[in-house]
Amino acid sequence: MLEDKDFELLDETPVAGEIVEDKEITNDDFTLTEVDSSVHEQKFQTRPTTFLKDSLKRFSKNKSSVVAAYILGGLLLLSFLVPIFDKSDLSDKNPNSANETYLAPKLFKAGTGFWDGTVKYTDIAVDVSAKPDAKTEEEKQEYWWPSSKSFPQRSAISKKKFTEEKYTNSLSNGDFAKEGFIQFGYLRTDPMNEIVSFATKTIPALSLDDNLYLSVFDTYDVEKIRVIEGKENLGYPDNYEIDDSAFYFTYTEKDADDNEVEKEVKLVDYAKVHNIGSAVASLKQDKVDIGKIIKEQTGKDLFENATFSVRMETKHHAKNVCTLIRAIAFESESTDKTIKKMFEDMSFSDATKALTKKVEDEYEYWSSTGQRLVYLAKAHFCSFVYDTYDAKFGIKEFNNFSILKLLDYEDYGWVSFRDAEGYKTLEYVDGGDNPGFFLKEDTFTCKILNKEKCPLVRELVVSDFYGNDGQGNLQVKASVYQYKYNGYDKAPIYLMGTDKNGKDMLKYVFEGLRTSLILGVVAFLVCFTFGLIWGSVSGYFGGTVDLVMERIVDIIAGIPWFVMMTLIILHFGQGFLTFAIALCAVNWIGPAARTRTQFYRFRGREYVLASRTLGASDARLIYKHILPNGLGTIITGSILMIPSVIFLEANIAYLGLGLRGLSSLGVILSDNQSELFTNPYLLIFPAVVIALVMISFNLFGNGLRDAFNPSLKGEE
C-alpha cells in the first residue's frame, strides 16, 4: 500500500491562517516515488489438499477408530494366514480326528492351572468296588476311579479329592451309584398320554405251569425318604407330584378273524403301594400270586409276547407327575432254568442297578415310555483335574496290539526282531494246518532302533505275547506313546483346543471367519452399490419417480426376510453363491433408504441451486455436489452390514440352513451350541471373534462417518 510519505506536493504549501482559494486537486498534482524496486511474495500458511487426504487425516485423529481398524486388519490377516500355515487337517478323512476329540485349549505347560490343556471336574461318581481287600482309606481311594469310558487314561488324573458318600439324582457318566428309587413319569410339556409305562422286555414264550409270585413291589414311602435324608419336611422330586401306580400283565391273542389283539390283566390295583411281602410289620403285605390271577382272568397258562409293567394312569395333565419304585422281585417254582433265569433278571433290589442293567442280547429289561430318572441314589464322589493331552498323547497300555503293526515299524527301520546273528525271531508261516505268525521263544529279540520314531515305550519280551486274534496274527501287550502312534514327531498343541470331530479350533475359527468376512464384504459391496444408485435416483428426482420406486421397496420389504431366505436356499441349495444372493435380495433396502434421506436433506441447498443455475447436469449434481455431503452417514450405516451379515448367517445356521461344505462362524456356533456347559471354549472363541468384529466395525464406521463429512473439512 502507498503511504503519504511516498507522495510529494507540487505547489507550495499554504501558510497557516491564510485564506486560499478552492482549487481542484487532480492526479497530475501528485507523482509516484518508488521506494523499493524489489517485489515481495508472501508464502501461503497452508497447503492445498484433496478430499481423500483430508478425510484420512481426520480419521487418524480418532484413536478408537484407528485401533478398530488395526483389529479388523489383524483379524483379516489371520483369517488368511492361519489356514495357510496351520497344517491341521480339518477334513473328514483325517485319520487322527477320532483320537483327538475334545482337547482343551493349551498354551502353557500342564500344571499352571490356566490355559494348560487340563479340565477340572467336580463331584464325579467313582467306583469304590476296586481293591476290596484294601485296609486303609488311603489305600482304597488309590483305586477309586471314575468311569473308564469318560476318563480312559488314569495317568491323566491328578489332584484327586474325595467326598463322603452322599445322595444323587443323576446317573450321568455311568455313575457308580447304588440303591435309591426309580423315578418315572412325564413332564406336562411332554405329549399328554394318559398312560405311561415302566415295562419289561417282551417275553416270547411264557408258561405258568408252576406258581409265580410278585414277592416285592416296593414303591415310595414318604416316611422312609424323610428318615433317609433326616429332614421331616422333605418333599418329593422337584416340580413333581407323586401319583398311584399299578402292576399289569399284557399279552396278545388272536380274535375270531385271526387278528392279534392285545389284552391285559391288572395284578395290583392303583394304589400307593409300600413293600408287598415286606418284613416291615407296619407295611407288611402278602406276596401276590400273579400266576393264579393270570390263569383265572385269562383261562390260559401259555402265552406269547407277554409283558409285565408298572403303569401310571393320571388325569393331572397340568402338573409334572411321577412314581417312585425301590424294588421289584418275582418268585418262581418253575423247574425250567430259562424261566427262572428270566424272572431273576427281571427282579431287582437296587433301583440304580436296574436302570443300567443289561442282558446278553444288550436289551434293557426295564424301560419306560415316559421320563426315567434316579432319585436318592447313594454314591462316592471325586473332584480332580484331567489332562486331556496326556489322555490323548501320553503313554497308553494296549492289551491287544497287533503284530502286523509291529512289523510295519520294522519295515520303517524303527524296531528289529532279529537275533545277534541277524536271523528273524518273528516269522510268518504260509500254509500248513496253522498258518500265521510265530515267534522263536528261545531266541526272541526285540530292539528299538529309532527311539525318535518308534512308538514303543520299551522293548518287548516273550511274556508280552499271549495269543492270536483267530486269523494267525499274534497279539501283544505293549506300552506305546500315543502321539507317535498317531504319526506325530512330537505331541501337538492346540491353542484353542479341538471339537467333537477332532478339528483344530484355531484353524477352524479363522477359516470360518474368512468365509464369513468374504460373505459379508460381497453382500456389502453389492447391496451398497445398488442401494446407493437406487436411493440417489429416488431422492434426487422425487415426485412420481420417488413414489413408484418407494412402493416397489415397500413390496419387497413386506416379504418376511426369513421366508425369502429359506425359499431361495431350499430351491437353489446351501452354497456360498446362493447364500450371497439371498442376503442381497433384501439388504440393499437399508443403504437405499439412507441415501434417499440424505438427498432430500441436501438437494435444496443453495450451492446445489447455484450449480443447477450454472448448467450442471443431473449426474454432476448427484455425484459431485449432493452425494459427497451425505456419504459419511451412508457409509457409517452401511458398513455395519458386514457384521450384520455374519449374525444373519449364524441365525440361519441355527435353523439348519447354514452353509454346507464350508466352515463359517455361524456353522461353528450352530454345531457346538450343545457344548455350552460341558466344553464352553467351543463357543467362547468363535463368540469372542464375532464380538471383536462387531465392535470394531462399529467404531470403524464412526470414524468413517466423521472422516467423510465435508462439513468438517479442515477441522482437527
The residue-averaged pLDDT of 398-408 equals: 84
Dihedrals phi, psi of 324, to nearest 5 degrees = -120, 130
Enumerate the β-bridge partners of residue 480: 396, 456
Sign of CA dihedral 92, 96, 101, 105: negative
Judged against a pLDDT cut of 70, whether residue 174 lies above it is answered with no
What are the extents of the domains in the chain?
106-167+377-393, 180-375, 397-485, 505-712
List CB contacts of 74: < 8 A, sequence separation 6 or more: none
E strand or H helix that includes residue 214: strand 212-219
Average pLDDT, the chain: 80
Separation of alpha carbons 420 and 109, rounded Å: 42
Flag whether pLDDT at 140 surpasses 70: yes
Which 3-state string (H, E, C) describes 62-131? CHHHHHHHHHHHHHHHHHHHHHHHCCCCCCCCCCCHHHCCCCCCECCCCCCCCCECEEEEEEEECECCCC
Is pLDDT of 592 > 80?
Answer: yes
Question: In whole angstroms, what is the distance from residue 321 CA to residue 183 CA?
Answer: 10
DSSP character string of 125-170: E-B--S-TT--SHHHHHHT-B--TTT---GGGEEEEEE---EEES-
Per the structure block, which three cell numbers stand in for 300? 390260559
Q: How confident is the model at residue 496 (pLDDT cuts 50, 70, 90)?
A: very high
Residue 8 contacts residue 29 (beta carbons within 8 Å): no
pLDDT tens digits along 63-120: 888 999 999 999 999 999 999 888 888 887 888 888 888 999 999 988 888 899 999 9
pTM of this prediction? 0.70
Distance CA(350)–CA(377), nearest Å, equals 9
Tens of pLDDT along 24-76?
A: 777 777 666 655 555 555 555 556 667 677 778 888 888 888 999 999 999 99
Q: Give residue-wise pLDDT tens across range 268-300.
A: 888 766 666 554 444 456 788 888 888 888 888
Could you tell me if 621 and 608 are in contact, meaning their C-beta atoms sit under 8 angstroms apart?
Answer: yes
**What residues contact residue 617 under an 8 Å CB cut-off, 6+ apart?**
none
Domain range 505-712, CATH class: mainly alpha
Angle in degrees, CA 335, 341, 344, rounded to 5: 115
pLDDT at 433: 63
- For residues 85 and 350, the answer to whether their CB atoms sit within 8 Å is no
Residue 132 has, within 13 A of its CA and on its CB side, a CA count of 1
Q: What is the DSSP letter of 677?
A: T
- 383 burial via Cβ count (<10 Å: 0-12, 13-18, 19+): middle
The three cell numbers locating residue 69: 481398524
Compute φ and ψ for 4, nearest 5 degrees.
Answer: -60, -35
What is the rounded radius of gyration, in angstroms, for the C-alpha atoms of the chain? 43
Non-local CB neighbours of 334 within 8 Å, separated by 6+ positions: 207, 209, 210, 212, 340
Q: 244, 257 in Cβ contact below 8 A?
A: no
pLDDT of residue 38: 57
Q: How many CA atoms lie within 13 A of 309 on its CB side?
A: 22
pLDDT of amino acid 279: 42
